[in-house]
């Protein structure tokens, strides 16, 4: 029987366990004891796009609406952990120097409920400021107000249009939030930053991991949209070190879909063995495939990959013995008017399983799918 499921950070530098175990979920009143056999539940918040059109009336309202979506999902699901799956902010619209002010707003609903989280970068998070062409028409550049957001971060009130680099965004998140499990990742992988692995284990047997959660930076913004061969090699070595016999299941998170997503994408609608509710656009993939997918399909322990980026897609489809899943567009920022929600991932230890579904802003649930144990395509769903 499983007692509490716990989370450990595995340092990308020392390749060892560095921090104390933290019971999950962490509630404002203290640690909560999960029932024996209780699952570990993760909420994925994708493509929030805080700070978009910050100088307009409607831009800040989007952020208010996005906060409402997250709060609704957290109330309905009461997850043990949250993953911010990239494009947390729209940096190319943010005029203030310290974009961490908007990042801090985005994580505030999770922090307010005392729930731990981790994040990966998307292509908009450190993108360069884009000057609107209409600012150069006859009316000229409008008066831009760059207030300090309601945030625990300190920052300048002036507009600098210089953007905030990945390293600074990550540094501010980690240093100002005790509940953040995000990490810089190995320096040799920079400019790719959000590369790290977390371990879930049972309190009854902390030496025996239940699952490994891998986070990879899929680039974009300040550098090409790609998971590099160096990142793939880091994954290979790390997986061999901490999971040499592939006994422990592995779940992988990044922002921009790999080219493999195009191979399994439904042509019209969504049909078995795929599961989902919207298939409204073509998959926008990384610029190149540098080896990470080959490694994943060769590892029997790799169970599923979760991405964001495409706001009009929310399906999961099998690829070899691996599931490729989109999250659900959570934020009111970014393109598209599809209803907002969040993908939920639930891990159970005995017997081991990974289930997923989508929780909508209005409280409804749909697209439930069993990702592990893997079911043969001909017999699935």
- pLDDT tier for residue 18 given thresholds of 50, 70 and 90: very low
User: What's the full length of the chain, in residues?
Assistant: 381
Domain ranges of the chain: 5-370
**Measured CA angle at 2 (ends 239, 212), to 5 deg:** 15
Closest CA to 126 of 165, 93, 172: 165
Tokens of 11: 């340092």
The architecture (CATH level 2) of 5-370 comes to 4-Layer Sandwich (3.60)
Q: Could you read off the pLDDT of 290-312 as tens digits, one per residue? A: 999 999 999 999 999 999 999 99
Is the confidence at residue 27, as pLDDT, over 60?
no
Tell me how crowded residue 151 is: count the other CB atoms within 10 A of its CB.
18
Phi, psi dihedral angles at 196 (to 5 degrees):
-165, 175
pTM for this predicted structure: 0.88
CA 361 – CA 69 distance, rounded (Å): 5
> Do residues 274 and 264 make contact, with C-beta atoms less than 8 angstroms apart?
yes
* Cα separations in angstroms, 378 against 268, 269, 369, 381: 19, 19, 15, 9
pLDDT tier for residue 376 given thresholds of 50, 70 and 90: low
pLDDT tens digits, residue range 94-127? 766 678 889 999 999 999 999 999 999 999 998 8
Q: CA-CA distance, 83 to 143, in Å (whole number)?
A: 36
- 339-359 residue pLDDT tens: 999 999 999 988 899 999 999
Cα 3 to chain centroid distance, Å, stands at 26
User: What secondary structure letter does DSSP report for 193?
Assistant: -
Whose tokens are 């990142």? That residue is 231
Kindly indicate the confidence band of residue 317, based on its pLDDT and cuts at 50, 70 and 90. Answer: very high
The predicted structure's pLDDT at residue 33? 32
Express the helix, strand and coil content of the chain in percent, nearest 5 each: 20, 25, 55
Q: What is the mean pLDDT of residues 81-97?
A: 86
Phi–psi pair at 185, nearest 5 degrees: 85, 170
């Amino acid at each position: 029987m499983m007692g509490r499921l716990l989370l450990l950070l595995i340092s990308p530098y020392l390749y060892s366990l560095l921090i104390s175990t933290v019971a999950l979920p962490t509630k404002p009143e203290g640690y909560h004891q999960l029932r024996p056999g209780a699952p570990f539940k993760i909420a994925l918040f994708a493509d929030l796009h805080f700070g978009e059109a910050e100088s307009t009336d409607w831009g800040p309202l989007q952020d208010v609406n996005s906060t409402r979506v997250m709060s609704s999902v957290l109330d309905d699901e009461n997850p043990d952990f949250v993953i911010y799956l990239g494009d947390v902010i729209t940096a190319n619209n943010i005029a203030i120097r310290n974009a961490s002010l908007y990042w801090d707003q985005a994580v505030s609903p999770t922090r307010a409920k005392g729930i731990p989280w981790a994040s990966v970068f998307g292509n908009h998070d450190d993108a360069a400021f884009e000057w609107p062409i209409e600012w150069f028409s006859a009316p000229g550049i409008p008066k831009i107000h760059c207030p300090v957001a309601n945030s625990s971060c300190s920052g300048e009130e002036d507009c600098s249009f210089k953007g905030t680099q990945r390293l600074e965004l990550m540094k501010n998140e980690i240093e100002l939030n005790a509940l953040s499990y995000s990490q810089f990742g190995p320096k040799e992988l920079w400019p790719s930053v959000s590369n790290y692995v977390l371990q879930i284990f049972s309190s009854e047997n902390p030496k025996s991991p239940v699952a490994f959660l891998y986070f990879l930076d899929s680039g974009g913004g300040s550098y090409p949209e790609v998971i590099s061969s160096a990142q793939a090699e880091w994954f290979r070595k790390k997986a061999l070190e901490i999971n040499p016999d592939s006994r422990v299941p592995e779940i992988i998170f990044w922002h921009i879909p790999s080219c493999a997503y195009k191979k399994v994408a439904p042509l019209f609608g969504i049909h078995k063995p795929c599961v989902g509710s919207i298939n409204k656009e073509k998959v926008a993939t990384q610029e190149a495939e540098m080896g990470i997918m080959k490694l994943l399909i060769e590892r029997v322990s790799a169970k599923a990959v979760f991405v964001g980026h495409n706001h009009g897609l929310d399906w999961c489809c099998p690829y070899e013995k691996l599931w490729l899943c989109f999250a659900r567009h959570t934020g009111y920022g970014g393109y598209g008017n599809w209803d907002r929600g969040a993908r939920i991932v639930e891990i159970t230890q005995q017997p081991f399983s990974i289930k997923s579904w989508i929780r909508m802003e209005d409280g409804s649930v749909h697209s439930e799918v069993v990702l592990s144990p893997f079911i043969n395509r001909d017999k699935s769903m």
